[in-house]
Amino acid sequence: MIADRPAPEAFLAAARAEGRGQLKVFLGAAPGVGKTYEMLEDGAARLKAGEDVVIGVVETHGRAETEALVRPFEIVPRAEVAYQGRTLTEMDLDAVLARAPSLVLVDELAHSNAPGSRHPKRYQDVEELIAAGIDVFSTINIQHIESLNDVVASFTHVRVRETVPDSVLETAEIEVVDLPPDELIERLKAGKVYVPDEASRALGHFFSKSNLQALRELALRRAAHVVDAQMLDHVRAHALAGNFAAGERILVAVSEAPGAAELVRAGKRLADALHGTWTALHIETPRSRALGEAERQRLSETLALAAQLGGVTASIPAANVVDGLVAYATEARITQLVVAKSTRSRWFKLRHGSVVDRLVRETPGMAVHVLPDAGGAATPGASAPMPGPPPLAYAKALGLVAATVLLSALLVPLIGLGAIDLIFLLPVMAAATLYGLRPGLAAGVAASLAFNFFFLPPLYTFTVSDPSNLLTAVVLLGVAVAASQLAGRVRAQADLAASSARQNAALAGFSRALTGGTDLAELAQAIAAEMARLFDAKVTLWTGEGGLTLIAANPPEDRLGAVERAAAQWVLDRGLPAGRGSATLPAADWLFHPLKTSSGVVAVLGLARDDGRDPVRADQLPLLLGLLDQSALAVERLRLTDEMAEVSRLKDRDRLRAALLSSVSHDLRTPLTAVIAATAELRRQLAGQADTTAIDTLDTETQRLARFVANLLDMARVEAGALRLSVEPVDLTDAVAGAVHDLRRSLEGHAIDLDVPPDLPLVRVDPQLFHHILINLLDNAGKYSDPGATIAIRGRRTPDALTLEIIDAGPGLPPGREAQVFETFTRLEGSDRSAGGTGLGLAIVKGFAEAMGIAVGAANRGEPRGAVFSLRFPAALLMRATEEGA
């Protein structure tokens, strides 16, 4: 469960730091110590060192010396946010991200953004910048650090609402901007310190010398602590030393009480001081399930605060708080327990024993810290009273007593008075068991009175003279208390069992519902339906394939506002929750959670409620997370199944194709080789005899057949997408000379005009494929050129490309249909049919060229007539001819 902080986390922190930007925070004890000034000076030094430094946001407050420092920087213009008729300006996060400097200066880390911004807090903007690999300089005053908020408020009596979680500072480099209190007070008097108007009233006290000294000490200690923590991380990552298994584990018991937030902060401070890990634990008791909406909200805020401060949060069910705490603390080997002092009445304590006493008794070896519950007394009535039994329960309890009286009246003549008092135990036990303590007590009182009145002599009067009468009353009341306690406990455990059975049943039912889906749409619909049922909310499910798309909704829903879409997109990109009730885009109506697997975010789930309440209660969050994990696994499983099927299909097809290609190429080539060689032999044997027409025909036609077979195979490879490129720098001179050499037979009778300057760049192509391109183009030029005409090959360098042209002199191409010439099996009308060929050659040219990134073109030339086929090599394919030591 909660182990010691494991070393892998330190590795993770280091790994995360790679590729991320670095945050440097200028920490001051109070406004006016010169943080912004210091930050600008440091930034200017980086700027001077040649780095790309911009200002995201810096407040100069009109101070001339600060403004002078701002001048050298590029300032990213702020974004304007309209809010309640006013226009507020905020740092333009997207603009800074787009600008992607190496360092950005962002003043006032604790600033709250205008409502409607992407993040409510500026430190969240900064986190996004860091995640994008941008270094950030920022500033903060000590009282804005979350865990020190209470401490500062306790002696300055000024509480700031804008706080920054400690976790933000833990990975940051901290520079303390220090100014002795006397100098600061001087500066203040000289009007050199900017103080916001609304705060100025409180500040007279704030800037007292004793406060400033305390703040300064706090700032220095805090900086020292961060350095300490960072060094510890380093020690862990490098296994330099240490038995960290002996570390302290702190458990903070939180409730829905208003003071719980301070308890959490105290726990965090304790954990920091002891270098331990800490957990905020909420015990779900039968009582806590009866909480009101406001209390649930407060509880979830408290747990969120704990998570923000770096603690682990947990929520477990138990019959009562002490049992739960003891069980958890023992299992997690907790060393320090932090609880709030109970504000319950003395009477309650007498009856139940103090929670603290029991904790101390039942957790030997554990230090128990008891803090006063600061908020509890201040807000009376805030905590829910134990749900009272309905009035009907009292009536029923009294009814039981009345029935007993009647029954006893019937029985007395038969059995006498002796055992009647025992019969009166029955209604008391029944009422206590069935309706709880108070109806049980009521029944006890009524029973003892009725027994006294109806059956104890003197009859029909209340007598207390006999001590045994009093004893009867006491026994009846005691039975009521004991029975109700026992029954209450049994009922609570039954309730809890039922609740976890419900949760388990929900999970089991959920996974059953998900196994049915055979395609994504079906699965998504099942997820949406189940989630909607379990949370009684509207559900949408999105994927990111091909932009954010809705794949399922329950009930069917097709409209979402821009804010919601942005939130869903953000979740898809970051893999973190966003929307209502979360830290990002909380203004949205919908809450979005990612469905994450090891391969990333596979989908995004949206939840909303028509009545505008939070779609998921704090106590439902663990269930939601469990369901999300299951959903993600189901989606992943489906995708893997699909991929496997696709892969095996492709494999089969590839195997078949490869087998076909190699068998055809082998089976056709072998006889062709034999025929060609045999023809050559025949020609030699017939040499000197007059008529060689037949052998000439055999020769040229076999050669053509060989080329045709080669083309067919090439085309099959192109169309199957089975081209394997083996790219190397090729000299066009070599390539052209080789092609002309190989085609010398077909080109006999044509003059070849080679104009390929030797200083052209090399081109990065597959030499074999490129050879076939040239062979086919030259073959084509030979076929469609007038007999004896010159075929020109011309290479030219243009500013952004290199062009190779094959120019023939013949009928040319039909005007307007030049491009069609490259389509498979197109032989254009008007071209010389007797030249033969299937039109396959040019299709191969196009296929090969495009596979290598070469653009092909065909056009007619002016005078003399003819066609120009061009190959255009874009700059990316060109290679400067470098001479390494040549």
Partner 1 sequence: MKPRTILVVDDETQIRVLLRATLVRAGYGVVEAATARAALASLDIDKPEAVLLDLGLPDRDGLELLPLIRAKTQAPVLVISARGETEQKVAALDLGANDYVTKPFDTEELLARVRSALRQGEAREGIALPIVAGDVSIDLHAREIRRGGAEVHLTPREYGVVAELAKHPGRIVTHAALLTNVWGPGYRDNIEYLRVVMRNLRLKLEADASRPVLLVNELGVGYRLRVPEMASR
Binding residues among 740-779 for partner 1 as defined by CB under 8 A: 740, 754, 756, 758, 762, 766-768, 771
Residue 282 or 771 having the CB closest to partner 1 = 771
Residue 339 or 878 having the CB closest to partner 1 = 878
Contact range with partner 1 by CB under 8 A, out of 54-62, 341-349, 632-640, 722-730: 722-730
Interface residue with partner 1, options 669, 794, 796, 861 (CB under 8 A):
669
Does the footprint of partner 1 cover residue 501 (CB under 8 A)?
no
DSSP 548-568: SEEEEEES------HHHHHHH
Helix ranges (DSSP H) in 171-208: 181-189, 197-206
Looking up tokens 């109700």 gives: 484
How many other C-beta atoms can be found within 10 angstroms of the C-beta atom of residue 590?
A: 26
**What is the amino acid identity at position 373?**
D
**What is the amino acid identity at position 419?**
A
Contact 42, 25 (CB under 8 A): no
Does the footprint of partner 1 cover residue 392 (CB under 8 A)?
no
Q: Which two tokens stand for residue 694?
A: 């037949």
State the minimum distance, in angstroms, from the CB of residue 766 to partner 1.
8
Residue 160 or 756 having the CB closest to partner 1 = 756
Residue 527 or 739 having the CB closest to partner 1 = 739
State the minimum distance, in angstroms, from the CB of residue 689 to partner 1.
18
Does the footprint of partner 1 cover residue 878 (CB under 8 A)?
no
Distances (CA, A) of 745 to 221, 741, 775, 777: 90, 9, 12, 15
Half-sphere exposure of 364 (CA within 13 A, CB side): 0
Contact 617, 293 (CB under 8 A): no
Q: Which two tokens stand for residue 73?
A: 């920087």
Interface residue with partner 1, options 186, 734, 823, 832 (CB under 8 A):
734
SS (H, E, C) 646-699: HHHHHHHHHHHHHHHHHHHHHHHHHHHHHHHHHHHHHHHHHCCCCCCHHHHHHH
Residue 497 or 680 having the CB closest to partner 1 = 680
Nearest partner of 259 among 393, 375, 89, judged by Cα = 375
Does the footprint of partner 1 cover residue 457 (CB under 8 A)?
no
Could you tell me how many residues make up the chain?
886
Interface residue with partner 1, options 45, 227, 508, 674 (CB under 8 A):
674
Could you give the CA distance from residue 565 to residue 455 in angstroms, rounded to a whole number? 76
Does the footprint of partner 1 cover residue 393 (CB under 8 A)?
no
Does the footprint of partner 1 cover residue 876 (CB under 8 A)?
no
Directed axis angle between helix 840-852 and helix 693-719, to 10°? 40
Residue 353 or 874 having the CB closest to partner 1 = 874
Does the footprint of partner 1 cover residue 833 (CB under 8 A)?
no
Does the footprint of partner 1 cover residue 800 (CB under 8 A)?
no
Site string for partner 1, 689-718 (x = CB under 8 A): -----------------x---x--------
State the minimum distance, in angstroms, from the CB of residue 692 to partner 1.
16
Does the footprint of partner 1 cover residue 681 (CB under 8 A)?
yes
Residue 355 or 763 having the CB closest to partner 1 = 763
Could you give the CA distance from residue 131 to residue 136 in angstroms, rounded to a whole number? 11
Half-sphere exposure of 239 (CA within 13 A, CB side): 3
User: Residue 317 forms beta bridges with which residues?
Assistant: 284
Could you give the CA distance from residue 842 to residue 848 in angstroms, rounded to a whole number? 10
Contact range with partner 1 by CB under 8 A, out of 177-185, 368-376, 423-431, 677-685: 677-685
Interface residue with partner 1, options 731, 835, 857, 861 (CB under 8 A):
731
DSSP letter assigned to residue 453: I
Does the footprint of partner 1 cover residue 688 (CB under 8 A)?
no
Distances (CA, A) of 522 to 356, 390, 538, 643: 53, 46, 18, 17
Contact 729, 879 (CB under 8 A): yes
Interface residue with partner 1, options 367, 371, 384, 672 (CB under 8 A):
672
Looking up tokens 């339906």 gives: 529
Binding residues among 646-665 for partner 1 as defined by CB under 8 A: 665
State the minimum distance, in angstroms, from the CB of residue 879 to partner 1.
6
Q: Which two tokens stand for residue 264?
A: 């959490």
Using CB under 8 A as the binding criterion, the count of chain residues that bind partner 1 stands at 42
Q: Which two tokens stand for residue 189?
A: 């008097």
Q: Which two tokens stand for residue 504?
A: 């388990």
Does the footprint of partner 1 cover residue 666 (CB under 8 A)?
yes
Residue 112 or 733 having the CB closest to partner 1 = 733
State the minimum distance, in angstroms, from the CB of residue 821 to partner 1.
25
**Ramachandran angles phi, psi of 467, nearest 5°:** -60, -25
Residue 212 or 730 having the CB closest to partner 1 = 730
Does the footprint of partner 1 cover residue 599 (CB under 8 A)?
no
State the minimum distance, in angstroms, from the CB of residue 303 to partner 1.
59
Helix (H) or strand (E) holding 271: helix 260-274
Residue 461 or 882 having the CB closest to partner 1 = 882
Contact range with partner 1 by CB under 8 A, out of 195-203, 287-295, 592-600, 676-684: 676-684
State the minimum distance, in angstroms, from the CB of residue 844 to partner 1.
13
Does the footprint of partner 1 cover residue 801 (CB under 8 A)?
no
State the minimum distance, in angstroms, from the CB of residue 873 to partner 1.
15
Residue 468 or 726 having the CB closest to partner 1 = 726
Chain residues binding partner 1 by CB under 8 A are 665-666, 669-674, 676-678, 680-681, 684, 706, 710, 726, 728-731, 733-734, 736-738, 740, 754, 756, 758, 762, 766-768, 771, 879, 881-886
